[in-house]
Amino acid sequence: MNPGKHELVRAGVALCVILMLSACGRGITSTPGDAPNLQKWVADVRARPAPPLDPLPVMQQFETFEYAAQGMRDPFSNAWSNSDAGGLRPDPNRRKETLEQYPLDSLDMVGTLGRGPGLIALVMAPDKVTHRVRPGAYLGQSDGRVTAVREDGIELVELVPDGAGGWLERPAAIALEDQ
């Protein structure tokens, strides 16, 4: 583009902008006679009656209920508990063994001693001390009693609360750690 055409385009754009702004400005300006028309329109709108309101919804009538449960069982008592029935439960008088202070998943079986029915498991505690474990010993924090010692692992039964005041037996195992 040569310089003359460039200035001509610039002047044309400026002229278009001026024309658009002047066209927009005509709608903004008002004459002194417009104010009474506006005031009359506002007065007419205020004089109209308000539209009627919707009727209030009909309220539902609820049947009354009198709670009379004086003769019923208290839902918060442990009446469903089988602890008084002589069911399963931990022995509170039993002396705790050393490995019962650790969670079961923190104990590692590292080997065995002996053969056949006299097999003894070697279990390493988190404090890196190795303990000998025989059937009948207790492990873990859930009263886990060892039921069997095998060359590849230890089987035990834990006593866990059943949520209703009683106790359930839950089988568990510790596998021989692969080195």
Q: What is the pLDDT of residues 38-83, one digit of tens each?
A: 899 999 999 999 888 899 899 888 888 887 777 777 777 655 554 4
* Averaged pLDDT score across all residues of the chain: 83
Return the domain boundaries, the chain: 98-175
CB 138 within 8 A of CB 97: yes
Show the tokens assigned to 36: 């009474």
- Pairing relationship of beta strands 138-139 and 130-133 according to DSSP bridges: unpaired
Instruction: Give the closest residue to 171 by CA, choosing from 135, 136, 142, 133.
Output: 142
The helix or strand, by DSSP H or E, that contains position 172, with its residue range, turns out to be strand 167-175
Residue 1 has pLDDT above 60, yes or no: no
CATH of domain 98-175: 2.30.30.830
Q: What is the pLDDT of residues 101-110, one digit of tens each?
A: 999 999 999 9
CB 100 within 8 A of CB 140: yes
pLDDT of residue 148: 92
User: Across-strand partners of 113?
Assistant: 120
